[in-house]
Amino acid sequence: MTDLDTFRSETRAWLETNCPPEMREPVQSEKDMCWGGRNWTFQSDAQRVWLERMVERGWTVPHWPRDYGGAGLSPAEAKVLKEEMARIGARSPLSSFGISMLGPALLKFGSDEQKKRFLPEIARGEIRWCQGYSEPGAGSDLAGLQTKAEAVSGEEGGDHWLVNGQKVWTSYADKADWIFCLVRTSSESKHSGISFLLFDMTTPGVSTKPILLISGNSPFCETFFDDVRVPKDQVVGEVNRGWDVAKYLLGHEREMIAGMGLGATDGTLGSILRPDDPFLRAEVAAFDVDALAFAAMSERFFEMFKAGEAHPASPSMMKYAGTELNKRRHELVMAAGGSDALEWDSERSSEGKAARDWLRTKANSIEGGTSEIQLNIVAKHILGLPGA
């Protein structure tokens, strides 16, 4: 038996003993996901116990170093853990932008003090983050952002940044504890005048306003900064070099969003829907072929990405393919469900879950950079097309 076989055997035994049965049920709605943070209220004892046990093992961030709350697993061991959790249908113990986006950026660009301060809290689910990237006048052209951070020094002003401006489409800003935010610290250069700043959402001058979506849910907010004072040591990386941090983080965000293409279950869509209509059955079969191909491509991409060997434009390719696939999945679910799938507010439809999920996917090809932006990046960097 190899070391990896031993690890799999021990992991399987631990999960069977420690994953509560309730945490092996499919996620039905937002409330089934644990986001953690200062104001989080656990939805059940099982949700709390599952997070605590996984935190103790370092398995909320299994590949992070032990010093920062991880388990220090190798990529092969982390893959085994993921497979064994999927085998029993275990839910993720923690959903966190800190884990999926900020953490990797801090590991690469953060100071020792920033890593020691923030990473263990992220791993334990004690701090919830939101992302301050998009602005009303700078969505697709992200580097055109205008939110300013001015350095203020001296006895009267202290030693801090003074932030003013507005962000938009800030996911869960009204529930987040802290924000990782792109701000303009110089107007001399579009890309070389941006800094990557961290600050507490309870800082005076920060306010949020939810944006209601067509699905009836509202994860997005407008976020406003009015003379927000931020300590100078909360810049990640170098001042005016935040675009480097932003691009690295965007790769991880697009990796996360691309994961939507894999779906929530291991089964094929055909095995779940079983439509009678032969034309719809053919469409579902074609989808399942594409989904299996995407899953195989994803496994190869994620391994290369974690090893730092993926092409810089690969996250854009995966983001485009994954989000388009997820939109097709939900179109087929609605088609197979017929008029019943359109129920909006009933116990039978789980409060309109199918319809709300379908409408939510309309944002997939916009959030995290539009499909058009991703295709331009692929055309320019992978296909080498002129003028892309």
Amino acid type, 306: K
Distance between CA 81 and CA 93 in Å, rounded? 13
| CB of 360 closer than 8 Å to CB of 217 | yes
Confirm whether 253 is a catalytic residue.
yes
| Nearest of 246, 278, 22 to residue 134 by alpha carbon | 246
Q: Which residues contact 199 (CB under 8 A, 6 or more apart)?
A: 163, 178, 179, 181, 206, 228, 230, 234
Which residues, in sequence order, are CB contacts of 48 under 8 Å at separation 6+?
Answer: 42
Could you tell me where the DSSP H helices lie in the chain?
3-18, 45-57, 75-87, 97, 103-109, 112-123, 242-258, 269-273, 278-306, 314-337, 353-360, 371-381
Distance between CA atoms of residues 255 and 316, nearest Å: 8
Distances (CA, A) of 223 to 7, 87, 203, 243, 263: 45, 40, 13, 21, 31
Active-site position among 253, 255, 283, 324: 253
Q: Which DSSP string corresponds to 79-127?
A: HHHHHHHHHTTPPPS---HIIIIIHHHHHHH--HHHHHHHHHHHHTT--
The span from the CA of 214 to the CA of 356, in Å, is 8
Phi, psi of 235 (to 5 degrees): -85, 130
User: Judging by DSSP bridges, how do beta strands 148-152 and 206-210 pair with one another?
Assistant: unpaired
What are the two backbone dihedrals, phi and then psi, of residue 229, each rounded to the nearest 5 degrees?
Answer: -90, 125
Residues 6+ apart with CB under 8 A from 314: 301, 304, 305, 382
Q: Judging by DSSP bridges, how do beta strands 129-132 and 178-184 pair with one another?
A: parallel
Active site amino acids: 253
